[in-house]
Amino acid sequence: MKKVFWVFFALMTSSGVYSQTMKDTDTSDVQQVIVKLFDGIAEIDSSKIVKHITKDFLLLEDGLIWNSDSLVRVLKPMKSQQFKRSNEFRFIRHEVKDKMAWVAYNNTAYINFNGQKREVNWLESAVLVKDSTGWKVTVLHSTMLAKPLKK
């Protein structure tokens, strides 16, 4: 009976460690999808943007409702301008459950547009789903901030 208990205990303990490792990996993967999506936006690269969002992607920003087509359409004219953008993220909270994830973060963009420098701050949340190719953003909600959140 003691052998059965220790075998059962070992199986439960090892599966708990594996489960925790998977959660940590998923958390990192979810955060990287956010970073890579905004890298695509910064580079105005529609293929990189589309790679990290679902077909039914929804962006809610400043009272507007956008999809992938409208996002790409708004960014496209900037390609012919002097445009440079980099992003800095401060992840606040996340939840990963099975094939769905939710993440909240502060996004600061450093933008140089036609020689004018600007810093823009948003408080954002995203819902991601996991498919056979990995995590993708399905909903992104963005609120512009007058100043960055305190660190």
Whole-number mean pLDDT of the chain? 84
- Helix or strand holding residue 26 (H, E): helix 2-42
Distance CA 109, CA 96 (A): 26
What residue segments make up the domains of the chain, in order of their start? 29-145
Q: What is the percentage of the chain residues whose pLDDT exceeds 70?
A: 81
User: Cβ distance 95 to 102 under 8 Å?
Assistant: yes
Cα–Cα distance list, 22 to 56, 93, 139 (Å): 27, 17, 23
Q: What is the pLDDT of residues 25-47, one digit of tens each?
A: 677 899 999 999 999 999 999 99
Greater pLDDT, 12 or 27: 27
Q: Assign 151 a pLDDT band (cuts: 50, 70, 90).
A: low
CATH code of the region 29-145 = 3.10.450.50
Average pLDDT over residues 58-74: 93
Strand partners, 84: 112
